[in-house]
Amino acid sequence: MFFKRTKRDAARASTTSDSHEADSIATMPEPLNAAQVRRIVEPDTLAFTTTRDLEPISGLIGQERALKAIHFGADIKAHDFNMFVLGPPASGKSTAVKAYLHGKTAEGVTLLDDWVYVNNFLDPNRPRALSLPPGRAGELAKAMLAAIDELRATLPAAFEAEDYQVRARTINEEFSSSQDEAFEALNSKASSQNIAILKTPTGFTMAPMSEGKVVKPETFNGLPEDMRKQVEAKIEALQKELVVILERMPKLDKARRAKLDVLNKETGAVAVSEALREVRLAFKDLDNVSKYLDAVESDLVANAALFLKDENKPSPEVGARQSVLTRRDPRFRRYMVNVMVSHKATLARNADAPVGVPIVEEDNPTYGSLIGRIEHLAEMGTLVTDFLLIKSGALHRANGGYLLLDARKVLLSPFTWEALKRTIKGRSIRIEQPAETQGFATTQSLDPEPIPLHLKVILFGEAELYYRLAAGDPEFSRLFKVQADFDDSIARSPENDLAYARLIGAITLRHGLKPVDASGVARMIDEGARLADDQEKLSIEIGRIADILREADYWAGTSAHEVITRDDVAKAITEHMQRSDRLRDKSQESIERGIVLVDTGGEKIGQINGLSVLQLGDFAFGRPTRITARARPGRGRVTDIERESHLGGALHSKGVMILWGFLAGRYALDVPLALAASLVFEQSYGGVDGDSASSTELYALMSALAEVPIRQSLAVTGSVNQRGEVQAIGGVNEKIEGFYDVCLAGGLSGDQGVIIPKANGQNLMLREDLVQAIDKRKFAVHAISHVDQGIEILTGVKAGRRGADGRFPAGTINRLIEDKLRIFAERARALSAGGNNSPDGDRSIS
């Protein structure tokens, strides 16, 4: 036994009969033994020497349900059966999904399309999207660039050729001779009538002549009137003929230019056709490319003059430098090809195999990186763009395959979640500015043709996020119909222990670590149970297991070990904890120095040690806290000081209400519960939540009512229901270890320990040093299922059960409490009769 009967117990018992004295002394139950607080694996039970002797496991263990869901979600063809993979971080869910999808890629069952954007010559603001067989998008882009390079050399040469010059000269001469003949005939006619046709800067004019010389105006004005009228009539008639000739000139020039245009087109068409011939031959099997080349050829022929204005005339050879100049020249951008998706790299790896499905994991799923974007260039203070500035997104690269996204990152990126849903529903990728989707005007001037979408989107996230989306977004469940739910642990069994060892072996091979011997594997299995907080489970958080093994490999190297041993694993775990426990040390120091008041010895009425857990990142530690209770006559209410000061959470308030329900249900059967009580976590400044201290608070209140002291060498955790049953809580290992560390710092007395819910016994995987202390009976862990058991351990006094007379046995805790509450009720009745309806000034609330 760890506890003895106190003098106070004996004094109280002396006021009763001998039988009552004997009945009121509690019999202390045996605490848990070392085997019950930590389940370990003996290395001798493992049938191997090191993990090198084992076949590494492929895939995950214990995730059959999730793996079946992944297989189903990846294989079903329906576009709305996208997948949400949920589970805790580092559970290996991403690795499992990618491993299965890469297996599908290796099968090479899918042929994918390349996609390009090209200029729409009829409507440049609506670029066209062309699909091509895998690997041919880049070929088309290079072929078009080579064709333009060639035209930069051949078109000017064609127009400088002698044949073209002769034909062009003939057309111009025809126009010139026709014009000259008309003017010569008119001039001859005018000369025969002594009229001169003169060309001035402002046009043509006519004047009379005499003896081959133009008559001066003053001389002409001196002529007889009838002679002047005759001359003027001749001039007027000749002017009309001149007007006719001049009106015919634009028509003749238009005809000339039309003939030249036909000549230019014939000349350009030959050069363009020759330049595009190889492109047409290379893509003659693709109708959409052939139609595009038709449009290119028509536009090239119509705009052959662009090539005649080339200041940097290229050499006939097509070289890399020339291609760069062509690509940068704004005149020729309209004929380039913007490759959005190309599978050439995949083909290069295995030219004989068909292209497998793409697997794209986008680590930064912003709107632009997911949907694609249209970039702009600043020219003369204006933002301009064209189809070559359209940039692909992850959806383009994953089209035909699988897109892997972190759900939380998608939701945190503005506009991205709605755009993703819109794209999945529409089954096409439409590139537009985010502001446009909201109806705002932007500098965007392009409306690219949408690209058809055929892919599966796979989101990764925690279970809480999945359920929130399912509840808050009606479209989510219609688009993500496959749920792959990863567990974070597997059941303990000899088969799973061996599978765990094979998993450890696989991790060491993947990371190039030393093999782990049987003792190291046994220690890893123990730690797996600790991570799972369950003696019957093993954690399969692959990331955490791999971290421990990599740290253990480091320590094995510093110790010149050829294999990773138990000591290396233990050191890795200890060192990791020490790197994170500065705040825990500060907390322990504050208790050791008496700044935070926690007693580990003696007895106090209405005072008890509670246990809580602080979570800081991935490190959690237990911290004992003093809880006190005071009781007096009142209106039957318990004041939760934490709640009154707005430091208590909803769950903690619920726990206080439950313990009040227990008090009322047990002790206020025939009298009112005329109680005014207060409960508080002493020196708590950061808020309290959770109901794991409700049994602890109940014990403190029972002690205050019964006026029976509680042993301060004990700490308590556990929630309670209205029937007094003690229920399981979380963080039991950290809570026990936190109080043990406080006791250890002050010196173990042999009667220190903790009281936990019996249901938490299966969660115990305590530290090895604490287990040794328990084995040496220097520290105790008591597992109980009811508050009556707990109060007996804490006080050494029996709780007591109601007898046939409806009363608890004299001297028991329950009898003392009931008697005290009867006294309170009588006092309240007396005060009420005296006209005071507020005994003891009670202002408490429940």
Which positions are annotated as active-site residues? 692, 735
Contact call for residues 536 and 560 (beta carbons, < 8 A): no
Tokens 């050439």 belong to: 344
Strand partners, 86: 461, 485
Distance of alpha carbon 134 from alpha carbon 339, whole angstroms: 12
Length of the chain: 846
Q: How far apart are CA 208 and CA 237, in angstroms?
A: 13
What's the distance, CA 777 to chain centroid? 50
Q: Which residues are 140's β-sheet partners?
A: none
CA-based angle 155:160:164, to the nearest 5?
95
Residue by residue, DSSP assigns 440-455 as ---S----PPPEE---
Q: What is the CA radius of gyration of the chain?
A: 47
Residues 6+ apart with CB under 8 A from 38: 526, 764, 765, 766, 768, 771
H, E, C per residue of 643-699: HHCCCECHHHHHHHHHHHHHHHHHHCCCCCCCEEEEEEECCCCCCECCCCCHHHHHH
The residue type at 25: I
Closest CA to 469 of 519, 507, 421: 421
609 strand-pairing partners: 626, 715
Tell me if 45 sits within 8 A of 65, measured CB to CB. no
272, two tokens: 């363009």
Record the tokens describing residue 743, joined without a space.
């006791």
DSSP β-ladder status, 114-118 and 128-132: antiparallel
Which of 402, 394, 392 lies closest to 455 in space, CA to CA?
Answer: 402
Q: What is the DSSP string of 706-755?
A: HT--EETTEEE--EE-TT-BEE--S-HHHHHHHHHHHHHHH---SS-EEE
- Whole-angstrom distance, CA of residue 196 vs CA of residue 205: 8
Strands 83-86 and 482-485, how do they pair? Answer: parallel
DSSP 3-state assignment of 842?
coil
Q: Which two tokens stand for residue 34?
A: 């070392």
Q: Is the dihedral of CA 485, 487, 492, 495 positive or negative?
A: positive
What is the residue type of 488? D
Closest Cα partner for 780 from 763, 792, 793? 793
- All residues at 6 or more sequence positions from 575 whose CB lies less than 8 Å from its CB, including other chains: 551, 555
What counts of helices (H) and strands (E) characterise the chain? 32, 30
Q: What type of residue is 817?
A: I
Q: Other CB atoms closer than 10 Å to residue 321's CB: what's the count?
A: 9
